[in-house]
Each structure stands twice: as structure tokens, then as C-alpha cells.
Amino acid sequence: MEPIKRYNCLIVDDEPPAREVLRRYIMQIPMLNLIAECGNAVQAISMLKQHHVDLMFLDIQMPQITGLDLITTLSNPPKIILTTAFEQYAVKAFELDVRDYLVKPIRFDRFMKAVFKALPDQSVRNENPTPVNTQNIADSAFLYFRVDRKMVKVILEDILYIESLKDYVKIYTTKGSVITKYAISSLESMLPAVSFIRVHRSYLVALGKIDSYTSDEIKISNNVIPIGKLYRMQVLNILAQGNG
């Protein structure tokens, strides 16, 4: 079997937390190869001159030169996916022929959709393109979390549920648990919405791992997770759809 073709990626964003999210997402897609991260457009221009870049994840509001201004300065730009906290630039962005427009916080499933929307034309130009099974990639998706002084890999499919512990989260999996410094809201934005749901201000659960539920609680592997009042209607509606 031929190896999967890899595409060189560049992250351009002045906010370190935003770069970290994109870096984690890129690591989960085998066909993407992150060559560098830049904190501003000036650094990005230098990198684009030094390396061949297939796909650039570009923030809009940055110091000195905005992302939109950067695009207009490039005579032969790579494929571009804009990543921004602002929706109002969408019309202008698509006039510049960007491949997609992602509004922060960016979910992994939306990120993956943008990547596969951006890359097909490039694949067609390969003499021997390798088909990519997006379902397999989603099934094997993972995240790395810092635990003490090492990075621990967690397969998304193994996650049962996640509990918030103030500035930390405890991730319960089929293989044990992991405690890492992370906000549960940030972690929620990184997980695919089709597989995970917030059921309480302190809990996220994997939909596929639910054994039973009532209007007040969910049971997963003999663990009882409360359903918060603010989340109850949405949670019960989603779970009821699963019964259909």
C-alpha cells in the first residue's frame, strides 16, 4: 500500500493558545505535516519563502499586518483556511479565495471538514493520489495532554467522560484516567460534537459510552454523572434522537 501523501502546513496566529489548539488538531490528521508556527505575518512571509507550504491556517487580526492583508501580498499563496474570532470578515475573505473560514473556538470535527474541503484539488494534481479514509482518521483521532513532565496520548474513542476539577480536568477512559491542567470549556471546543456532549458545567460525556439515563443523570460503566438543569433540555433532546 502506498504511503499517505503528506501536506506541509503553516500556522500563523499571534495567540499562543490558538496555535496550540491548531497544533493538536494537525497532529491528529496523518496527511498533515506541520513545518512551523508564526506569531505574525512578517514571520509567515519569511517561512513561505524558505519552505513549500500546501496549507496555511491564518488568523486575521494580528499586529503589523493582518491576515487579509497578508493574502493580498502573496503572488502565489498556498491554500488558506482562516481561523478567527470574528465573523464579520467572511465575505471579504471568500473574495480572496480562501478555502474555509473557521470561527474560534474551533471544534475538531469542523477543523477536519475544512481540511478535507481544502485539499482535494491538490490531491487531484498528484500523479498517483492516495485515497484517504476520513472515517478511519476520525476513529483513530487522539490528543496529547501534559501529565506531570510528560505528554500522554489519549485516544478519543477510549474516553468515557471528563470531569472538571477547578483548573484541571480528569479524563476517564477505558484504560484508566488522566489528570491534566485544562479548562473543560476549552477541551469541549476541541472534541467532535457528534461524539461528545456537555451535560453539566463540570462534565462532558462520550455519547457512545452511555449505558442508561434518566432526566437527572447518566450512567457510564457504573459511574453516575449528573445532568445539570441548564443542560437538561438539550441533553434529553439529543439522547432522544438516538432512540429514533
In tens, the pLDDT along 93-134 reads: 888 889 999 998 888 888 988 998 898 644 433 433 344 444
**Amino acid making up residue 208:** G
Q: Report the alpha-carbon angle 198-204-208, nearest 5.
A: 95
Listed in order, the ranges of the chain carrying CATH 2.40.50.1020 are 143-243
CA–CA separation, 110 and 192 (whole Å): 8
Helix ranges restricted to H, the chain = 16-27, 41-50, 67-73, 90-95, 108-118, 120-124, 134-139, 184-190, 232-243
CATH number of the domain located at residue range(s) 7-136 in this protein:
3.40.50.2300
Give the residue range(s) of CATH 3.40.50.2300 domains in the chain.
7-136
Which pLDDT tens digit goes with each residue over 131-188?
444 444 444 577 778 888 888 888 888 999 999 998 899 999 999 999 998 889 888 8
Predicted local distance difference test score (pLDDT) of residue 4: 61
Residue-wise pLDDT for 7-42, tens only, equals 999 999 999 888 988 998 898 888 899 999 999 999
C-alpha to C-alpha distance for 204 and 173, rounded to whole angstroms: 12
Q: How confident is the model at residue 242 (pLDDT cuts 50, 70, 90)?
A: low
Q: Which fold has domain 143-243?
A: OB fold (Dihydrolipoamide Acetyltransferase, E2P) (2.40.50)
Distance CA 106, CA 181 (A): 20
Q: What CA–CA distance (Å, rounded) separates 161 from 174? A: 10
Phi/psi of residue 181, each to 5°?
-80, 110
